[in-house]
Structure 1
């Protein structure tokens, strides 16, 4: 009987170091697989079906002979096309010639922890791994399922999902550190420490202006600069979220507390904001920050609970009061209870209420 995995799944980008000949073989394979996926997507769109078995029967042999693919590569190309078409059946999917392609254990294997054997159109090649990530931090860390070969900025990466076992459960936390997530302050904890989002918003707005300027210019040099900067903002936001999540988890672990977060699923559909604030709301990576906090907390043995965020910033935190009223928060930054007069920073009040809600919640049965 197979054991049940209890831990966290972490996506790692393993950097590969192919030789020039190997890099050319990998690129040729990626182009062939994506061209095959485009042809399979055309078949799926014409027959109005996202069923993998049906599409495979219609185009399997054509893909193998037209693009020189192995059997498993042709099947994975069909799966990629059907998966994309299933997400949006209103249009035919189109894949970039160097888009990521999937590899499963039949056509990719690991040679220890510093090399892979990967199938190309010219046969298998052994490619060294430069960066192994969390995979090397413990013999119990295992790669799960298939991997994606990614070509980015002239470099090759292997995106893999790694099983990292959860540390043994300790004692119940001594309390819960509530964390309020927001746009002005990306995160504010129940101790009153705020991580300001001013720098992130400034970078985003500068990038918006720069992109508009370069797109309007339309010269070759402008297009080169746009291509060079296309992922810079995402990397910056990701780094900020990593720093904040690491700080929150470290603080909770040092003080023996769990972390209470707002359950913000569907917030973009629930909130209505002015046109000027729309860009900030829809570029706000709160879900990424929450995911970073969650998996870092699991690895550190810190429990996490999600609570209902409704009225957390409108509820008086005084135990003998607890009055809820929209007028308690007269401005975005300030809270003042209209019944008892208790006042303080609104984000700090919300984080305090989030922590208290987690303390009275029943733990999940799972």
Structure 2
């Protein structure tokens, strides 16, 4: 399996200036290639290279390998765009968002990330430095740092390309590492997980990970953004810029903690993990305006991704099930009825009388569906 390790670069002012100049040149070249690809309707790497390679090298001072990576980056970006269009992620044909995406070439930010391979970037793990190609020549001895786990993983398992990233005045390298696949252990049952907003995750064992703290942080940040945007002074704009990723980092950390606890419990008890497949829920659900902000800030996809990759590293089976009517179905007898939910937190089956917290009951339904899905997909 592949993971991405982030390390922070510690360049001198001169080195940072050279890196910045390189990103500007690479992204200007990428914009030229993207326009050519759009006008020529040419999106294959080999074909696009014929149209743009010489011009990219001559006009932007890029080395051969850097020019190749610019063209490949453009092709990969168009491939992602076309995949999103085909999947309907940018709206239905004729919608405003889809028309905007289809009617103009892709544009890269001046400091957008740029990929490097082992010909352009070499690592000195013991010295904790890198040597990297720039338009000003090869820069050697750029220091980097990271957590002990990240550095150990990087030294032992790094393979493939690394991306040079500038973010909020800091420089990072995102390196790809390949870990050997751990065999999935045959599960002895499934730990069902119900994902929600009031409770971020609830397991069929009755453990609830409350979303109260996260929702309070989001509400506080939303009100602070509103006040700062209304104030619109230079200092307010500086504060907005400084805080813009703080909430996302906080939410990601909460999701990491929850995912680790769920995977650890499943591994300890020899069970797999059953999750709801909530893809497309934002398009399916219709809510009143005050609820839309809450739904659209709900990072269920990120939590599901964290659980999936942590489970893969631990050899724990993961299965995604249909979420339809999990909140109305009884985990004891299977009876489905809207009346089973007298209020948001309570489940009381009108058929067999079973009563439980609504989220715990839903997690039990997810667990049962996970067992059935696994049995069907792994039938001899």
TM-score by length of 1: 0.89
* C-alpha displacement of 1:119: 0.8
* Counterpart residue number, 1:154: 169
Structure 1 unaligned regions, length at least 5: 1-7
> Does 1:37 find its partner at 2:30?
yes
SS of residue paired to 1:116: strand
- The yes-or-no answer on 1:96 pairing with 2:89 is no
Alignment partners' CA distance in 2, 1:137 and 1:354: 37
Indicate the residue corresponding to 1:5 in structure 2. none
Structure 2 residue runs without a partner (length 5+): 82-100
**8 Å Cα contact 1:141/1:163 also seen in 2:** no
Contact persistence 2:34–2:106 (CA under 8 A): yes
Using a 3 Å threshold, how does the CA distance of structure 1 residues 92 and 141 change in structure 2: closer, same or farther? same
Distance in 2 (alpha carbons) for counterparts of 1:292 and 1:214: 33
Are 2:125 and 2:155, in contact at CA under 8 Å, matched by a contact in 1?
Answer: no
Pick the aligned partner of 2:344 from 309, 321, 332: 332
CA positional deviation for 1:359: 2.1
CA pair 31-132 structure 1, distance change in 2 beyond 3 A: farther
Q: Which residue of 2 aligns with 1:210?
A: 224
Paired with 1:55 and 1:254, the residues of 2 have a C-alpha distance of 52
For the structure 1 residues 216 and 54, does the alpha-carbon distance in structure 2 shift closer, same or farther, using more than 3 Å as the test? farther
Q: What secondary structure does 2:320 align onto?
A: strand
Following TM superposition, by how much is the alpha carbon of 1:191 offset from its aligned partner in structure 2, in angstroms? 1.3
Distance 1:267 1:141, change over 3 A: farther
Q: Compute the displacement of 1:85 (Å).
A: 4.5
Who is 1:109 aligned against? 122
2:209 corresponding residue in structure 1: 195
Change (3 A) 1:221 1:136: closer
Q: Which residue of 2 aligns with 1:344?
A: 356
Deviations 1:201-228 (A, max 9, x none): 2222222222232223222112111110
The equivalent of 2:326 in structure 1 is 312
CA change 1:277–1:141 in 2 (3 A) is farther
Match of 2:251 among 215, 237, 252: 237
Distance 1:173 1:13 in 2: 33
Q: Aligned equivalents of 1:95 and 1:207: distance in 2?
A: 29
Alpha carbons of structure 1 residues 163 and 85: separation in structure 2 relative to 1, 3 Å: closer
What CA RMSD, in Å, does the superposition of the two structures yield over aligned residues?
2.4
> Retained in 1: the 8 A contact 2:2–2:176?
yes
1:265 to 279, 288, 299: 279
- Pick aligned residue for 2:135 from 109, 121, 135: 121
Say yes or no: does 1:56 pair with 2:49. yes
Deviation by residue 1:30-62 (Cα, 9 ceiling, x = unmatched):
111112112222323333443434443333222
- Whether the aligned pair in 2 keeps the contact of 1:214 and 1:223 (CA below 8 Å) is yes
Is the contact between residue 12 and residue 134 of structure 1 (CA under 8 Å) also seen in structure 2?
no
CA distance in 2, matches of 1:162, 1:263: 27
Q: 1:206 and 1:45 mapped to 2: Cα distance?
A: 43
- Which one has the bigger helix percentage? 2
Aligned length: 356
Given the superposition, is the C-alpha separation of residues 173 and 226 from structure 1 closer, same or farther in structure 2, using an over 3 Å criterion?
same
- Equivalence for 1:358: 370
Secondary structure at the residue paired with 1:147?
A: strand
**Stretch moving more, 202-211 or 131-140:** 131-140
- CA separation of 1:292 and 1:210: change in aligned 2, threshold 3 A: same
Aligned to 2:63: 70
Of 289, 292, 313, 2:306 maps to 292
Structure 1 residues 47 and 139, CA gap change in structure 2 (3 angstroms): closer
Do the aligned partners of 2:190 and 2:274 also contact (CA within 8 Å) in 1? yes
Secondary structure of 1:361's match? helix
Alignment check: 8 A CA contact 2:6 2:150 kept: no
Contact 2:153/2:177, CA 8 A, preserved across alignment: no
1:25–1:122: 8 Å Cα contact kept in structure 2? yes
Whole-angstrom distance in 2 between the partners of 1:196 and 1:280? 15
Task: Measure how far apart 1:92 and its partner are.
Answer: 2.6
